[in-house]
């Protein structure tokens, strides 16, 4: 029987005012002392913007970047915080350190943050598949976090994985899942500032016949590139492997049948995904919409579809174009879009902090 109550509408227009506790993140119980490694990157900038947006109480911010950024200040909570470089004991007395840097930096410095008494929330790939490290999307497996945890490394998942598992979790719990197929269409901001600037520069000179690629393997302007990361011997890219492995770990389904294909597209921000989900039972479209619409962090568009341009700057994961496969009544198709810098990185990390400190 179909569920009869209408789906909860959680989509809201862009906010220009600071969010309060009715938003997607509660206030921390106390002002926190934060470290931010990679403070001058696009994810670091998003991290700062979200802290301002939610007016989180900040006792101290220590922004860390390369020596090229020395002399710069990061403004937060009405104070200018000078950019520092990583050095011994630089994390002392901090409550949490957020890492948005390369794997090598995270591997070296995240354990040192924990030794200094801080939680290390790492956005790199360094610890995600380590069986001893928690890989967390708060709406999905936030029960792994509580106020009694001791300082430790907590891994922030891959951006494409995050938006996918937020959609899969309620379907898994309610109906069970046989298999998943996902094709991603990922914006250039996922490659950081170099990727973002490369598309903008090529757009300014769009009449030029050839554009030498730097951040990507081929020209991104007017193009789609079916490669994100390097290729393994079996033909999968590192991005696709991340999505498949991380999703299984986060959902606690080690044998989850999931196949991924990742494509870079010339959108500036927000990742899009076409998703095929085969359930373990036959359900109605109303069942699907109700189940998704009542899950935390999801915005269901049952009469429309989200796009990367519209979703950029928004908090939730958006899902639309929900329809049944013509050849398999248990398979459902949907279109999933999310801001990869917000929910796909900085917001998810701050929601982890919310679970630890609220």
Got the DSSP string for 220-282? -TT--BS-SS-B-TTS-BHHHHHHHHHHHHHHT-TT-EEEEEEEE-S-SS-EEEEEEEEESS-
Instruction: Specify whether 271 is catalytic.
Output: yes
Please identify which of the residues 224, 271, 323, 327 carries the catalytic annotation. 271
N- to C-terminal Cα separation, the chain: 39
Residue 222 backbone zone (phi > 0: left; psi -120 to 50: alpha; other: beta): left
The secondary structure of 127-194 as a DSSP string is STT-TTSEE--HHHHGGG--TTPPS-EEEPPPHHHHHHHHHHHHHHHHH-EEEEEEEEEE-GGGGHHH
90 is an active site residue: no
Given 90, 159, 211, 327, the catalytic residue: 159
Is 39 in contact with 105 (CB distance < 8 Å)?
A: no
Task: Count CB atoms within 10 A of the CB of residue 243.
Answer: 30
Quickly tell me which residue has 């506790």 as its tokens: 21
Q: Which residues are catalytic?
A: 159, 271
């Amino acid at each position: 029987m179909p569920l009869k109550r209408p789906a909860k509408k959680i989509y809201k227009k862009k906010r220009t005012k600071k969010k309060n506790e009715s938003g997607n993140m509660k206030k921390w119980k106390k002002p926190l002392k934060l470290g931010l490694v990679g403070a001058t990157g696009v994810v670091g900038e998003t991290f700062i913007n979200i802290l301002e947006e939610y007016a989180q109480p900040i006792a101290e911010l220590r922004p860390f970047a390369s020596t090229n950024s020395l002399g710069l200040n990061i403004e937060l909570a009405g104070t200018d915080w000078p950019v520092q470089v990583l050095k011994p004991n630089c994390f002392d007395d901090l409550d949490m350190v957020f890492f948005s840097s390369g794997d090598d930096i995270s591997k070296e410095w995240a354990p040192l943050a924990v030794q200094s008494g801080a939680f290390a929330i790492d956005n790199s790939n360094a610890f995600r598949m380590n069986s001893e490290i928690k890989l967390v999307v708060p709406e999905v497996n936030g029960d792994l976090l509580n106020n009694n945890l001791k300082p430790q490394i907590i891994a922030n998942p891959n951006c494409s994985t995050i938006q996918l598992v937020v959609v899969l979790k309620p379907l898994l719990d309610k109906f069970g899942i046989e298999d998943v197929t996902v094709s991603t269409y990922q914006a250039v901001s996922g490659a950081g500032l170099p990727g973002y600037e490369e598309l903008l520069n090529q757009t300014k000179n769009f009449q030029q016949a050839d554009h030498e690629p730097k951040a990507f393997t081929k020209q991104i302007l007017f193009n789609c590139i079916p490669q994100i990361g390097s290729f393994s011997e079996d033909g999968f890219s590192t991005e696709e492997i991340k999505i498949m492995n991380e999703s299984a770990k986060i959902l606690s389904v080690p044998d989850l049948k999931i196949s991924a294909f990742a494509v870079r597209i010339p959108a500036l921000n927000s990742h899009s995904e076409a998703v095929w989900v085969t359930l373990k039972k036959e359900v109605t479209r109303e069942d699907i919409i109700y189940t998704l619409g009542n899950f935390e962090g999801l915005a269901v568009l049952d009469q429309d579809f989200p796009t990367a341009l519209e979703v950029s700057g928004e908090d939730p994961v958006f899902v639309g174009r929900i329809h049944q496969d013509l050849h398999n009544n248990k398979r459902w198709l949907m279109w999933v879009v999310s801001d990869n810098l917000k929910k796909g990185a900085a917001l998810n990390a701050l929601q982890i902090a919310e679970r630890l400190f609220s």
